[in-house]
Chains A and B, each alone.
Chain A
Amino acid sequence: MSSHGTEKFEFLEHTADAQFRAYGNTLEEAFENAALAMFNVMVDTDSVSDSVSESINIESPDLDILLVDWLSELLYLSDVNHSVYSTFNVESIKEQDGRYFLSAQIYGETLNLDKHEIDTEVKAVTYNQLEVRKLSNGWMLQVVVDI
């Protein structure tokens, strides 16, 4: 298993779907990098500016589901707003009475096929081989998305 060092995320080989691992020194940072990895399946995020923004608040029964809920919410917003996102600021992930709360601000741009290098549509986030793992020096998140 690779340690994260300066790497934000890496893609793993998968026949039908896209699988990635995202890393972070904090859980918040790892969640941000998971979002970045997922949008990089769809688009070259370097070609996406910060002209639109959304606030996100999520409540989930455990950390695994929080990760799926977070990425699913991003897909939902991308679909209904015809937007792609490239900057993710996860302000906090908190646990209270056995429930998990995330709040974030995300930035991106209305989809523009002349400007954005579109790759593959991500249909959904799966629970297949899902992992939220605490490492000695941070966090590793593993996700398979359906494409």
Chain B
Amino acid sequence: MKGEDIKDNEVYQILEKIDDNTWNVPVTYKSTMNVPGRIFVSSELMKDLEKETLDQMANVASLPGIQKFSMAMPDAHLGYGFPIGGVAAFDKDEGVISPGGVGFDINCGVRLLRTNLQIEDTRPYINQLVNNLFNKIPSGLGSKSGLKVSDAELDDVFVHGAQWAVDNGYGVKADVEHCEGNGLIEGAEPSQVSKEARKRGRPQLGTLGSGNHFLEVQYVDKIYDEYIASDFGLEEGQVTVSIHCGSRGAGHQICSDHLRELTQAVKKYGIQLPDKQLACAPANSREAQNYFKAMACAANYAWANRQVINHWTREVFENIFGKDIDMNLVYDVAHNVAKFEEHTINGEKKQVYVHRKGATRAFPPEHPELSDDYQQSGQPVLIPGSMGTPSFVLHGTKDSMDISFGSACHGSGRLMSRKHAKKELSGEEIQKELASKGITVKVANPRMISEEAPEAYKSSSEVVDVVHDVGIARKVARLSPVGVIKG
């Protein structure tokens, strides 16, 4: 796949250059396309871009009511249905809602906590920290939460999201204010959640899960923008924690249940699909709205999940370092979600369902959805690196609303299949290599290490540089890992 020259890659023959980092999939690429595709990618990242990713962008561009472009972020790669890294907005009346545009792990997302600890003072405690976090926060396949919720409590989780956790003693009010949308999508209706999804959801609230999900202890190793960094409470040398996880089995089941309904709705509404995974229904139809109500439940569950894990993380830190460590939430963003938003399209204000599948919301300064303290800076945009590589904090810009429906990338993007990564890279070697870089890794399943090795991913700094240069979010700080726990 990896070509030496950009022109060797067949995608170069398909794409139309707009500028160095902006390329179009022409609307003529497939006869079914309603709008062109648009991908933000550097020539370096283009070398690893798969033609199938463009095909998937073209498929999304063929759905009814899509606005402006079927977009893909620089970390885009082949997904199922929609590409991973895809952003698409659909008109609320003429458009559709598609579970495939969100994915199975509804509201998979990331939150960033800061402390007033300095890395030099913390290093001697990293092993202890990582061990205690690993023991406190259930991770891995089949892990069970220490938290037991009843069916009635689960309803409250579905409806109230992060606020439920805070109301039940897991965190403080400021945590909720520093979540995207206050840790809530409105309109959640637990009646649209099956008993199977409930049964999976009840024992898993407060678990990290497996796969690429992680909890990472980091420090700020570089500041790009002093002014905005101080708005976010970030400074060089400071210890931070990132938590990356989603809605667990509840979300997977909710997506599966409604996807099945929508494969039938497609026939009812006579929608032509190039791929069944794009199953969708008119946005205002009963089927699509039922999915949206259930998706909101899963999204809210995920916010409550990250909030509970946030609380336990705080407890572990405070047990070692005491209560005065100012462990505050910088922000929490979703990167697999569909949201009802207002955007200006061709000079006209329009209400749309923005699907972000492996893409982060990146709202500009003065946006009414942001809390007071981020009105000047714009939204913190959190971009986790792959295991052992830096994460980035960016801030939303005015341009992002125009360019990308207020969206940016979500991570580094896979390069190597998991199967291939396992063959190429031994878990032990990777763990040793990370240890030599001062990174302690504690993992429920050692085989996961090779699957999620840094080499299996695109470079996160390259991805973030494209986002920065295009201007859809601007770099604020870089975070370097020192301890990782994984499923």
Q: Which residues of A contact B (CB under 8 A)?
A: 11, 13-18, 42, 61, 64-65, 68-69, 72, 75-76, 79-80, 82, 111, 113, 117-121, 123-130, 144, 146-147
Contacts and interface: CB of A to CB of B under 8 A. Distances in A.
B418 A76 contact: no
Given A16-B78, A76-B196, A130-B276, A123 B419 contact: no
Interface of B: 50, 77-81, 84, 103-105, 140-142, 144, 196, 199-200, 209-211, 249, 252-253, 255-256, 259-260, 263-264, 275-277, 279, 414-420, 444-445, 447-448, 451, 487
B418 A118 contact: no
Contact of A127 (B209, B277, B417, B447): B277
A16 B414 contact: yes
6 contacts: A68-B260, A69-B260, A75-B252, A120-B448, A120-B451, A126-B104
Given A16-B84, A18-B418, A120-B211, A128 B276 contact: yes
A121 B211 contact: yes
Given A111-B142, A123-B211, A123-B252, A13 B80 contact: no
Contact of A15 (B253, B263, B414): B414
A75 B142 CA distance: 12
Contacts of B50: 15
A16 B252 contact: no
B142 A124 contact: no
B249 A128 contact: no
A118 B277 contact: no
Chain A contact residues: helix, strand, loop or mixed: loop
B275 A61 contact: no
Contacts of B211: 120-121, 123, 147
Contacts of B448: 120
A64 B275 CA distance: 13
A119 B362 CA distance: 35
B77 A15 contact: yes
A128 B80 contact: yes
A13 B141 contact: no
B256 A124 contact: yes
B104 A15 contact: no
A146 B253 contact: no
Given A16-B84, A121-B209, A126 B277 contact: yes
A39 B15 CA distance: 39
B419 A17 contact: no
A76 B200 contact: yes
A13 B420 contact: yes
B453 to A, nearest CB: 14
**5 nearest CB pairs, A to B:** A128-B80, A127-B276, A124-B104, A128-B277, A126-B80
